[in-house]
Structures are given as C-alpha cells and as structure tokens.
Amino acid sequence: MQQRSSGVLVPIFSLPSKYGIGTLGKEAYNFIDFLSDSKQSYWQILPIMQTGFGNSPYSATSSLAGNPFFIDFDLLRDEGFLNESDYAFLSTDDNPRRVDYQKQFDYKFKILRLACNNFLSTNLWELNQFVDDNDFFLDDYAIFYALKEKFKGASFNYWDKEFKLTDKDAIEKFKRDNLDMINFYKTVQCLFSRQWFALKKYANNKGIKIIGDTPIYSAYDSSEVWAHSKNFCLDENKDPIDVSGCPPDGYSAKGQLWGTPVYNYKHLKENNYHFFIKKFTYLLKLYDVLRIDHFRGFDSFYAIPYGSPDATNGRWVNAPGIELFDKLKKELGAMNIIAEDLGFLTDSVRNLLKETGFPGMKVMEFAFNAYDKGNTEYLPHTYTENTVAYLGTHDNDTFMGWINSISDADREYAIEYLKLKNKDEYYKEALEVLFKSKSNLVITQFQDLLGTGSIGRMNVPSTLNDSNWSYRLLPNELDDKVVDFLKDLTIKTNRAK
C-alpha cells in the first residue's frame, strides 16, 4: 500500500442472493467487475470464518475454517455436485435487505450433505490432498463440529466431561465411530476452499486485492480453545479465568465485556509462538492483505475476571508486543497487515505500530467534537501516508445516519470543516474530502457509496439483535451511476489502479 489507492468494503454475507445470504458465487464475481470498472484496487471483507451464537464474524467457532453459509449452490450445480431441484425451494427471499440466518441453519447443511456425497464419489483424491495440506487445523475443527452435532449444538463446556476435557481415549473412540460425520465437515471445508481460491484468483487477475480480517481473540466455544486450551487463560476444567473487553470510557460507563478468553502468553512464548505462526501463515495465504482487529491488544490487553457482570473490574496486562511480530517476520517474511489501532491508545501502542511499520486506521466520524476541536487525530488534513482512511467502519453508523444523529454543535462543526452544501449528498462531499487526504488507502463501506441512512448500519457493538451483521445489497444497486461517481472520484484524486 505504498501507492495511493482505494477500495470498497462489502462483507460476503451482504452480497445479493436469492438464497437468503451472500455467497462466493456469481454476485461475488459481479462485484469484482464493479471494482475493476470503477478503478478500485481493493475489496475489503469482514471475517469469513464459521460463526456461532449471534452470527458475529468476530466471534467465530474457528479462526481458520470458512463459513459454510457462503458456499454457493449454483457453482456446485455447475460442477455436477447438486441438481437445482435440490435447493430451488430456497429461492424465495422474503427480505432481500437482510440475511436470513434461520434459513441457513435450517437447510444449508442438509443440502451440503448431498453435495459432499456427490463430490466424494469423484473427487476423493482432492479431499485427501486438502486434508494433508490443512491438518494443522482441519482435524480439530471437524472433530469439534462432529461433537457439537452429537451434543445438539451445545457449547463444549456442556459436553460430557471426557469430551470437554479432550480425553485422548474418548476422542480416539469417537473418531473411529464417527468417521463419516468427521469427513463430512472436512469435505465442507474443501468445497469452501476451492470456491474461495477460485474467486480470489479472479479478483487478482482483475487487479483487485482482497483485504481480509481477523479478530485478535478466539471465541470461547471454538475449536482452537477446545483443542488447544493451554494457549488461553483457562482453568483445569477449561473454564475461563480472565476474559476480554474494554474499560469504561466516554462511550460506555461500564465498559465492554466481550467475553472471549485472553491468551496465555507465557505458554505461547514457551512454544515459540507456534500457534500464531500457523494462524498467520494460513490467513496471509487466504488474503492479500490482513487487517488485525483490536491490534492494541498485542501491546497490552484488558483482562476481566470471568463471571464479572460488566467490564468495570478489569485490569491491564502486558502482551509480547514487538517480540511476537519480530518472530512472525522472521518466520514469514514481510507481512501485508493493517493494524486496527482504534480505541484507548497509549504511547506504547503507538510505538508498537511504528516498530512494525504497519499502517493504522483513521476514521473520519471520530473527528468531530465541537467541544474538543484541539483533538485533530482523525481530521483528514492530519492523516499521514501510512494510514488507511474510512468515513466509518462496520461498528459505526453509516455516514448519513451519523451526521443526522449527532448533536447540533457537532453537526455544524462537521459541515463547516468538510464544506458540506447539498444535504442529500453529504456522503459524496465527505468522500471527496477523504479521498483527497494523504492516506495511501481509502476504504468506503458500500452503504456510504449509496448514501444509506442508519437502516444500513452493520453492527451496534455489545448488542444482540437481528439487525447486526445482516444488511445486504440489492441486485444491480451498484449501478452505472455509482460506477461513474466512484471512478471519477478515484481518478480525480490520483487513486486509480
């Protein structure tokens, strides 16, 4: 990201589809064509891993296994692994603006079982190769999900003790008795992988690089916490000791209680950070650029005693910092990483970012506080080249939703600074200011290309509801007018690929 460039953020689940959720199929290829036509260089996505309760891509049941909901049935049909009659009944999309997660839970795996059986009848060799190439996470994932099926989807802390605590003899017997079920979950990942890398190849051939995303922590109910519990702060019963979150601040009087286990860095260091080396090796193969969520947690992290009702009782704990990234660089070489350096920042966090050389993030919506105009860190005229600039992120309101909901004083300040004139097109005028900044890379959420109001907000942190992680594009919504606007802006600000 040494040259001026730009891109668009569209999660896979937000792509149009008549089957209730965006997939790796035709509409994903169409979106890449849109990026190419509008002179973009990057497609940013949210994590594509298999999600659990709440559907958050930042709370996945595996930090490496792809989300089966994104597997495209039409592509499987074209390859002869499904008949259209196997899934045509899903084609009624009652609300194309929102992901229908219930439909995915009810039907996706049933149809994938048909596809996997047909795939294995002709492509068993491909599965065997895939298993050999990905044994560092695949076996754990497949056994974990087969056990979840046995225990009707329950979190692993509710499993029978021998399975919760990964008793070796019990696990080996389960594997022998459930080979077909375990192989099914491995085959699902094989199908996901072949569709993902075909899509990535198409993007790269069009000159589009994909920016992936990874949360810093693993969900408690995940295959890696279950299978490699010593990497996390758990007790002898695999119950968390400390969990993650953020301290109280001006936005939240009681802080944020994320609830994921924090890392046991003493154990990780004793094992030469093998866990992180394997994880980052795979993720940097999966994507062209990797965004690390909550990067500041690698400098120091906020640990909250497990069972606390909120985040008020936490404490800051030092993390490895540059030692970890020096180890990763030694093992992996240069890494294309974006550091999400938002939140409570200290000089130590800023120094870590500087030492790694990774670009940090600038969010314009954070800039406008009429009572603190001396806080210029997020004002576009202060951005430096080695940064990635956004109007807002998936955790913020859309730009039009934001500017219509902030205080009158803050709105007047933003309008004055950004020189906004046309109320209906504030988003276009704000994007022009952002694109003119010195940041080498500007990323625009698709909602902000369309001037969508708060209805299009992707997520409200620390809430569980049907609106989070569900907003979608409609077919052909990114039309020629949007192409022309984005292309002209990109060329005008010297960001065209």
Among candidate residues 74, 162, 288, 395, the one labeled active-site is 395
Strand, coil or helix: what is 261?
A: strand
397 is known as an active-site residue: no
395 is known as an active-site residue: yes
Among candidate residues 340, 341, 365, 397, the one labeled active-site is 340
How far from each other are the two terminal CA atoms of the chain, in whole angstroms? 12
Phi-psi region of 52 (alpha: psi -120 to 50; beta: other; left: phi over 0): beta
The pair of structure tokens assigned to 337 is: 């990483």
CA angle 335, 338, 340 (to 5 degrees): 140
The pair of structure tokens assigned to 225 is: 């916490």
The pair of structure tokens assigned to 466 is: 């049907």
Closest CA to 317 of 335, 329, 305, 331: 305
Phi-psi region of 166 (alpha: psi -120 to 50; beta: other; left: phi over 0): left
Give the helix ranges, DSSP H, for 397-471.
399-403, 408-418, 426-435, 446-450
133 is known as an active-site residue: no
The pair of structure tokens assigned to 49 is: 């891993």
CB 366 within 8 A of CB 392: no
Strand 315-318 with 337-339, pairing: unpaired
Among candidate residues 224, 293, 299, 365, the one labeled active-site is 293
> How many whole angstroms separate alpha carbon 303 and alpha carbon 259?
10
Q: Reading across the β-sheet that carries 256-261, which strands appear in turn?
A: 256-261, 242-246, 300-305, 315-318
Catalytically active residues, by annotation: 293, 340, 395
